[in-house]
Amino acid sequence: MEKLNATKIEPRYRHATIFQKYEDLKPGEFFILENDHDPKPLYYQFAAEKGDEFGWEYLLQGPEWFEVKISKK
């Protein structure tokens, strides 16, 4: 299981890095996004750009740490 810790990425590159990670996935694959705040705005960006092509499942939902399973359908 591959994890991507968003807190280790410079903020101005964060969303681009996460989207590139998603683009590198094959259908059926996933990664775990780790973050110190709820990445809900990122969910809305995925929904707008990818529609129903992605999966989003909270594995850990705060309040201090969040883990989201992001998958490619």
Considering the four listed CATH numbers 3.30.110, 3.30.70, 3.30.300, 3.40.50, the one that applies to the domain covering 3-72 is 3.30.110
Q: What is the reported pTM?
A: 0.95
Give exposure, 17-26, as e/b (b: 16+ Cβ within 10 Å): ebbeebeebe
- The model's confidence at residue 1, banded by pLDDT at 50, 70 and 90, is confident
Could you state, in order of their start, the residue ranges of all structural domains in the chain? 3-72
| Count of alpha carbons within 13 angstroms of residue 33, beta-carbon side | 27
pLDDT tens per residue across span 32-58? 999 999 999 999 999 999 999 999 999
Spatial separation of the C-alpha atoms in residues 54 and 70, rounded to whole Å: 7
